[in-house]
Amino acid sequence: MARILVNNSGPLHGEVEISGAKNSVLPLLAATLMTEDICEIEDVPDLADVSVMKKMLRKYGAEIDDSVHGIIRTRTPEIVTFEGDRDLVTEMRASLFTMGPMLARCGRIVMPMPGGCTIGKRPIDLHLKGFRALGAKVTEDAEKGTVTVEAGPEGLSGDAIYLDFPSVGATENILMAAVLAKGTTIIENAAKEPEIIDLANLLNKMGARIKSAGTDMIRIEGVESLSGCIHQAIPDRIETGTFMLAAAITRGDVLIKNALPGHVRPIIAKLKECNVDIDIAPEGIYVDARDKELVATDIKTLPFPGFPTDIQSPFMAFLTTVKGQSVVRETVFENRFMHVVELNRMGADIQIENREAIVPGGRKLHGAKVRATDLRAGAAMVLAGLVASGTTEISEIYHIERGYEDFVGKFKALGADIMKIDD
- DSSP letter, residue 362: S
Q: Give the number of other Cβ atoms within 10 Å of residue 147's Cβ.
A: 21
> In sequence order, what are the residues at sequence separation of 6 or more whose Cβ sits closer than 8 angstroms to the Cβ of residue 90?
112, 114, 115
Closest Cα partner for 404 from 94, 51, 46, 92? 46
Q: What are phi and psi of 78, to 5 degrees?
A: -150, 135
Q: What are phi and psi of 141, to 5 degrees?
A: -115, 100
Closest Cα partner for 199 from 186, 213, 181? 213
Query: Which residue in the list 39, 117, 229, 274 is annotated as catalytic?
Result: 117
Is 401 exposed, middle or buried, given 0-12, 13-18 or 19+ CB atoms closer than 10 A? buried
User: DSSP secondary structure string, 243-269?
Assistant: HHHHHHHTT-EEEEES--GGGSHHHHH
> In sequence order, what are the residues at sequence separation of 6 or more whose Cβ sits closer than 8 angstroms to the Cβ of residue 149?
99, 103, 108, 109, 111, 128, 131, 136, 137, 138, 139
Q: By three-state DSSP, how is residue 332 classified? A: coil
CB 366 within 8 A of CB 389: yes
Helix ranges, 231-322 (H)? 237-249, 265-273, 312-319
Catalytic annotation present for 274: no
- DSSP letter, residue 76: -
Q: By three-state DSSP, how is residue 129 classified? A: helix
Closest Cα partner for 413 from 12, 84, 119? 12
Q: By three-state DSSP, how is residue 148 classified? A: strand
Q: Positive or negative, the Cα torsion across 153, 156, 158, 160?
A: positive
CB 14 within 8 A of CB 256: no
| Residues labelled as active-site residues | 117
